Amino acid sequence: MNFQISKEPIDIQSVIDKVVQRNAGAITTFIGTVRELTKGKKTLFLIYDAYEAMAVKKLEQIGREIEERWEGSQVAITHRVGRLDITDIAVVIAVSTPHRADSYDANRYAIERIKEIVPIWKKEHWEDGEEWMGNQLETVAYPSGKPEEDDLNE
Amino acid sequence: MNKVMFFAHLRDAVGEEFLKLNATGKSVAELKAELGAIYNLPKLDTVMTAINEEFAQDDEVIQDGDEIAFIPPVSGG
């Protein structure tokens, strides 16, 4: 159960505990939180929705990619869904590796991949409206109907 | 029969979380175009498709019982 979608607030320590291993010299933890201001616009709260079964599979895929790319690594990711207020925790990623540099690199890789391939969406609520957000303001299009191989197997 | 699921702004546009319909034998692109026309779905060129929880190409042919999901650009994290 290293890869989960959670309707409840995420317990950071429980995610970290999943990657504790005797061969680790480092554990990095990324905590994604809900920001109030985006380009000067004030967010009141967010709703995250997921295609849960597929999202878990894609989180597992990211874990496999990391374990293949960084030897000896272990990964755990929990992503929250539902209503989140400002400062609430949206995602926690823990990566353990034998050496610290790999731990930072692999953790960064995980969050960037989440933003590419995991079917989770956020709806921003402002004082004057609400909108489902796309990948960086719809700058990414998928003409073939799916991410290119480079996106999926980088 | 097939279950076709919608998320984010597509769910708002269709007004349902999913539809049950027979898409067997159609390609992903054909089904996407058909539903796009019926429900006037916005920004379909950026929408990915999954068959049975795995990303699928537009030319993939839908089999009986396949679960289809239309996946707008994701914004998790």
Q: In DSSP terms, which residues pair with A101 in a beta bridge?
A: none
What's the CATH architecture for A3-147?
Alpha-Beta Complex (3.90)
Distance from CA of B47 to the nearest CA of A (A): 6
Distance from CA of A46 to the nearest CA of B (A): 11
Q: Which of A32, A111, A140 sits opposite B73 (nearest CB)?
A: A140
Distance from CA of A90 to the nearest CA of B (A): 7
Query: How confident is residue A136, by pLDDT bands cut at 50, 70 and 90?
Result: very low
Which range is least confidently modeled, A16-20, A144-148, B16-20, B57-61? A144-148
Q: What does the alpha-carbon distance between residue A42 and residue A40 come to, in Å, rounded to a whole number?
A: 6
DSSP structural state of residue A109: H
Q: Do B77 and A51 touch (CB under 8 A)?
A: no
Per-position b or e across A19-44, b if 16+ CB within 10 A of its CB? beeeebebbbbbebebeeeeeeeebe
Residues of B in contact with A123 (CB under 8 A): 8
> Please, are residues A51 and A79 in contact by the beta-carbon 8 Å criterion?
no
Q: Which of helix, strand or coil describes residue A100?
A: helix
CB atoms within 10 A of CB B13: 16
Residues of B in contact with A132 (CB under 8 A): 8-9, 12, 72, 75
Give per-residue pLDDT as tens, A19-65: 999 999 999 999 999 999 988 899 999 999 999 999 999 999 999 99
Q: Do B55 and A134 touch (CB under 8 A)?
A: no
Q: Do B75 and A122 touch (CB under 8 A)?
A: yes
* Whether the predicted pLDDT of A142 surpasses 50: no
Query: Does A15 or B43 have the greater pLDDT score?
Result: A15
Residues of A in contact with B9 (CB under 8 A): 131-132
Report the residue of chain A nearest B8, measured CA to CA: A132
Alpha-carbon separation of residue A153 from A3, A9, A67, A110, B60 (angstroms)? 19, 31, 13, 13, 20
Distance from CA of A64 to the nearest CA of B (A): 16
CATH 3.40.250.10 fits B2-71, yes or no: no
C-alpha R_g of chain B: 11
Residues of A in contact with B71 (CB under 8 A): 51, 119
Residues of B in contact with A111 (CB under 8 A): 77
What is the per-residue pLDDT for A134? Answer: 82
